[in-house]
Chain A
Amino acid sequence: MDAEITLTVDGQRRTVTVDTRTTLLDALRERLGVTNPKKGCDHGQCGSCTVLLDGRRHLTCLALAVAHDGAEVTTAGGLSGPDGALHPVQQAFLEHDGCQCGYCTPGQVCSAVGVLDEIRQGHASHVSEDLEAEPGLTDEEVRERMSGNLCRCGAYAGILAAVKQAGEQAGEQAGQEGAA
C-alpha cells in the first residue's frame, strides 16, 4: 500500500510516495536520494541513521515514514549553512579527526548536536551523580550520551574532543550573549 507524505528535509519541503512499510531512513535514502543518514544495521543498534527529527536526535531506521508525515528532518547535510559553511560540531569533527571511514559520521554529528542540546536543557544521564543537578560537559557525560553511535574505526577520542570543543564554544557564545 502506498501513501503520499510530506517531509521537510534540510529546509526543503518534499512530497514523496512511500510504501506503508518504508522506513523513514529508506524514504530519505531510496525515495528522496538523501543519503546523508547511513544504514549501518537497520535495527537500532548502531546510530548511523541518526537525524534531528523535529529538533531531537532520532533513529530513522526504526521509524515508519508514513507515521512521520509532516515531520521536519535535519540531516548532517542540513546542519551546514547554505553557503557550505560547516556547523561548529562538523568543524570540530574535522579538526579533531573525529571520523575515519566516515560512515557513522553523519549520525555522530547529528547525535552530538542533540547531546549538546540535552545537556543545555539540564537532562541527566546514566553517569550523572545527581539526577537533579545541572549536568556538566564532562568527558564522562559526553561519552555516555554519545554511546548510541558506534564507530568501528574507533574514532571515539577525536569525537569526544570535537563534541566538547563545540559545546564549550556554544557555552561561551551563550555566556557572551547573556552578558550583552
Chain B
Amino acid sequence: MKELTYHRAEDAASAVALVTGDPDARFLGGGTNLVDHLKLGVTSPTTLVDVSRLPMDEVAELPDGGLRVGANVRNSDLAAHPAVRRGWPVVARALLAGASGQIRNQATTGGNLLQRTRCVYFQDVTTPCNKREPGTGCSAIGGYGRYNAVLGASEACVTTHPSDLAVGLAAVDATVVVLGAGGERRVPMGDFHRLPSDRPEQDTTLAHGELVTAVELPASAVARRSTYRKARDRASYAFALVSVAAGVDLDDDGRVRDVRIAWGGVAHKPWRAAVAEEALRGKFLSEESVREAAEAELAAAVTDEQTAYKVPMVRNLTALTLTSLAEGATR
C-alpha cells in the first residue's frame, strides 16, 4: 500500500470535485473491498476521499410507491428495512445471501455495486490480469476457472461479477443515481455494469470521479412477488456459483403477465435473462416451460471443463425459483 492522503468529504459535490481532479484518488465508502485491495496492491491510489459519513444514509419512500436508497445505507439496514422486505423481497434476500453479518453491517449500497471481481488472478498482483493491468493478459484463461463466466465473456477477460445485491437490483429494474462534475445522472441497472469486451478494466459505465449517491427501486407487482436463490459451495459466507433473482406477476388464470429473471455468477455483470423472460410471457410456469426458456437464454453460453456445470445449474435453479414463486413460496 502506497502512502496515502486521507480527506473526509464535507459534501458530495466537493468529494466529486476532489476525485475528478486527481486520477490517483478514490472514494472510500464502507471499505470492505477497497481496503482489501489496498493491502493486496490491487489498487494503489495516493488519495482517499472518505464519503462514508456523507448524509446519504436514508431509505425514503417515493410518491409513486418506489423507494430511494441512499448510497451509504448499510447492507444490513437495507435488508432489515420493512419497506424492502415487503415490496422488494428479492433485494432483501440477495443482501442476506451475501457476505457475513459483520460485512453487511459495514458494506454500503453503493459500494456493493462497485465491488470488483473475486477472480483469484485479479487479486494476486504477481499474475497477469487485463482487468488489473490492461494488456498483460488473462491468467484465468487456461487457469483456475470454476467461477468464470459462461455468458458475454471476451478474450480479454472471463470473470464474473461477485455482487448478490446487484443481481437483485437488476431483476427489479433499479436505477442508479450518480453525481459527477457535470451534475446528476440516472443510470438504469442494466446499463450500469458492462461486459468486459476489450476493456475489462472498466467494470461499470461510471467515469472517474462519478459518485453513486442513491439507488431507486420502482414499485411493481413482480418486485412484490420476488425472491433470490443462490447456489454455492459452503451453505453460507461464500460467493455464488450461480444465483437467480426472479419475480413474477401472474394473471387470474395463472399465466405470466410479467416476469423478471436475472442471473449471478454467469457473466461480468448481472445477467438479465431477457430471452427467457420473453419466452415465458403469457405462459404457465412449469419446470418444463422455465427450463426451456432458460435454455433459450443459455444457447449463447460458452463453457469449458471447469464451467460446464453452470449451464444446467442455473437452468435448474431458475426452474425451481420461478415455480416456487408461482406456488406462493416466501423464499
Q: Are A148 and B99 interface neighbours, CB within 8 A?
A: yes
Interface pair A20/B5, CB less than 8 Å apart: yes
> Nearest chain-A residue to B96 (Cβ)?
A126
CB <8 Å contact, B103 and A44: yes
A95 is an interface residue with CB less than 8 A from chain B = no
Contact with A along B21-46 (1 / 0, CB 8 A): 00000001001100110111000000
Binary contact track A25-51/B, C-beta < 8 Å → 1, others 0: 000000000000000001110010010
CB within 8 Å: A-B pair count: 116
Contact with B along A1-38 (1 / 0, CB 8 A): 10100000000000000011101000000000000000
Cα-based distance from A157 to B48 in the complex (angstroms): 42
**Contact A130:B330 (CB < 8 A) given known A124-B92, A147-B236, A148-B99:** yes
Q: Which of the four size classes fits the interface of chain B?
A: 35 or more
Known: A42-B39, A123-B76. A111 touches B102 (CB 8 A): yes
| Cα–Cα distance between A43 and B144 once the two chains are bound (Å) | 21
With contacts A67-B52, A147-B236 known, is A20 near B35, CB below 8 A? Answer: no
Given contacts A20-B6, A64-B28, contact A47 B106 (CB under 8 A): no
Q: Is A118 an interface residue (CB 8 A)?
A: yes
Give the distance in Å from the alpha carbon of A148 to the alpha carbon of B286 in the complex: 36
Pair B101/A118 contact, Cβ less than 8 Å: yes
Whether A76 sits at the interface, judged by CB under 8 Å, is no
Of B10-18, B79-87, B174-182, B291-299, the one with at least 4 CB within 8 A of chain A: B79-87
Which residue of A has the minimal Cβ distance to B32?
A62
Give chain B nearest CB distance to A2 CB in angstroms: 10
Q: Which residues from 37 to 96 on chain A have a C-beta closer than 8 Å to any C-beta of chain B? A: 42-44, 47, 50, 56-59, 61-64, 66-67
Contact yes or no, A148 B101, CB < 8 A = yes
Are A123 and B80 in touch, CB under 8 angstroms?
yes
- With A47-B102, A124-B79, A148-B103: A64-B35 Cβ-Cβ less than 8 Å: yes
B100 at the interface (CB under 8 A from A): yes
A64 to B36, CA, bound (A): 10
Instruction: Provide the main secondary structure of the chain A interface.
Output: loop
Q: A21-B1, A124-B80 are in contact. Are A43 and B102 (CB under 8 A)?
A: no
Contacts of A81-119 to chain B: CB distance below 8 A: 111, 114-115, 118
Contact between A50 and B50, CB atoms less than 8 A apart? no
| A144: Cβ under 8 A from any B Cβ | yes
Residues on B with C-beta less than 8 A from A57 are: 101-102, 105
**Most chain B Cβ neighbours within 10 Å, of A64, A124, A126:** A126
Does any Cβ of B come within 8 Å of A131's Cβ?
A: yes
Distance of A132 from chain B, by nearest CB (Å): 5
Residue of B nearest to A144 (CB): B236
A5 to B330: give the CA distance in the assembly, Å.
46
Asked if A131 contacts B236 (CB within 8 A), the reply is: no
Interface presence of A176 (CB below 8 A): no
Query: Are B36 and A62 in contact, CB atoms less than 8 angstroms apart?
Result: yes
Partner of A56, one of B1, B52, B82, B105: B105
Please measure, in the bound complex, the distance between the C-alpha atom of A122 and the C-alpha atom of B79, giving whole angstroms.
11
Q: Other than the known A67-B50, A128-B96, what 11 A-B pairs have Cβ atoms closer than 8 Å? A: A44-B103, A58-B102, A59-B106, A62-B31, A62-B106, A63-B35, A67-B8, A118-B101, A131-B85, A132-B86, A147-B234
Which A residues contact B (CB, under 8 angstroms)? Answer: 1, 3, 19-21, 23, 42-44, 47, 50, 56-59, 61-64, 66-67, 111, 114-115, 118, 121-126, 128-132, 143-145, 147-150
